[in-house]
Structure 1
Amino acid sequence: MNPSLSVFTHWNDESNQSEIFSDPVISNCEKILRFLAPEFLHSLELSIYLVNDSLMAEINEERRGKPATTDVLSFPLYSEHPPIPVQILGEVVISMETCKKQAMEIGHGLVDEFYRLLVHGILHNFGYDHETNEEDALLMRKMEDECLDLVFAT
């Protein structure tokens, strides 16, 4: 936990999504990033982009060579040993169309699914990976649950 961390969150909604609002997301990002960031960091920056499936497919093809939409993409810039205590964490891109579809399929609300994707993307930017092995997948899932508890704590 890094309570003194300065957090800068850039918000860009290209999806014309009216159900997800920037102020609570930015506030919740601060909680999540302060929880995850190491103590030595003084400042951390994150960019969040909400897009539609068409733009997500373009980004996915351009950045990963995969010409299809997906729910969330992460583009990490994080270093575990930065030369200065200021860090750009990276970008999280969320397709709101896919987010809505998945929320309906899973049977929970759009806000729940949005934060699940956001936390997943943030964790990838910190270097967590669920695709390498079962142990890493379990650790990432545990961290997702802990971060979501911060967001939805009453």
Structure 2
Amino acid sequence: MSAENRDATAPAPLPVEIDLLVEAGGWPPENELLRLVEQAVGAVLDELQPAWTGSSELSVVFCDDARIRELNAGWRGKDKPTNVLSFPAFEVEEGFQPPMLGDIVLAAGTVGREAELEGKPLAHHIVHLLVHGFLHLLGYDHETDEEAAEMEAVERKALARLAIPDPYA
């Protein structure tokens, strides 16, 4: 579709091809999950404005607590479920757009329990965790207080773009 024929309100296409897999768990329908992934990735890219010229691939897996527990034990030595894991495909360097960004994996049980416990819509929590996981793929971390503050600031700004309340407030 040419630029003249495109709806002016339609968002620009993402420079990221999303490969989505719903492996297990009580997730919303796949088309809704894809919409949430696109929102999260788009908000982060709008916030960071990377100088990307091509396209990268991103894999997002929606699984259950049993599967993420296996991954967490195998990769991080933590034998318990967690809400989100990120597996970068490449080390990110300034100005470098990798062909494959990596994988983000979310666990249905943990994510659902957290959203309910925190009294927030499940979709908002999913988007927050996708933003968080995507930032890890882009080189952000929260091992130190300074790193955590920087990463959380980007998360807050990206989520604000989507009218999602500050998850750290």
TM-score normalised by the chain length of structure 1 = 0.83
Distance 1:5-1:102 versus aligned 2 partners, 3 A rule: closer
Question: What is the rounded CA distance, in whole Å, between the counterparts of 2:136 and 2:100 in structure 1?
Answer: 14
Is 1:107 the counterpart of 2:119? The answer is yes
Q: Secondary structure, in 3 states, of the residue corresponding to 1:152? A: coil
Which has the larger share of strand? 1
1:21-45 deviation line (CA, Å, top 9, x unaligned): 2331243145135323621442121
Give the corresponding residue for 1:51: 63
Structure 1 residue 4, shift from structure 2 partner: 7.1
Q: CA RMSD in A?
A: 2.5
1:35-84 deviation line (CA, Å, top 9, x unaligned): 23621442121111111111111111222222211111011124334997
Distance 1:69-1:23 versus aligned 2 partners, 3 A rule: closer
Amino acid at match of 2:54: H
Structure 1 residue 88, shift from structure 2 partner: 1.2
Give the corresponding residue for 1:27: 38
Q: How does 1:8-87 map to 2 (within 5 A)?
A: 8-19=17-28, 21-32=32-43, 34-35=45-46, 36=48, 38-81=50-93, 85-87=97-99
Q: Secondary structure, in 3 states, of the residue corresponding to 2:80? A: coil
Greater Cα radius of gyration, structure 1 or 2: 2
Amino acid at match of 1:126: L
Distance 1:151-1:88 versus aligned 2 partners, 3 A rule: farther
Give the corresponding residue for 1:145: 156
Question: What is the rounded CA distance, in whole Å, between the counterparts of 2:43 and 2:100 in structure 1?
Answer: 15
TM-score normalised by the chain length of structure 2 = 0.76
Identical-pair percentage:
31
Q: Is the Cα contact below 8 Å between 1:78 and 1:89 reproduced in 2?
A: yes
Moved over 4 A (4+): 82-86
The count of corresponding residues between Structure 1 and Structure 2 is: 150
Distance 1:16-1:88 versus aligned 2 partners, 3 A rule: same
Q: Is the Cα contact below 8 Å between 1:4 and 1:42 reproduced in 2?
A: no
Amino acid at match of 1:129: D
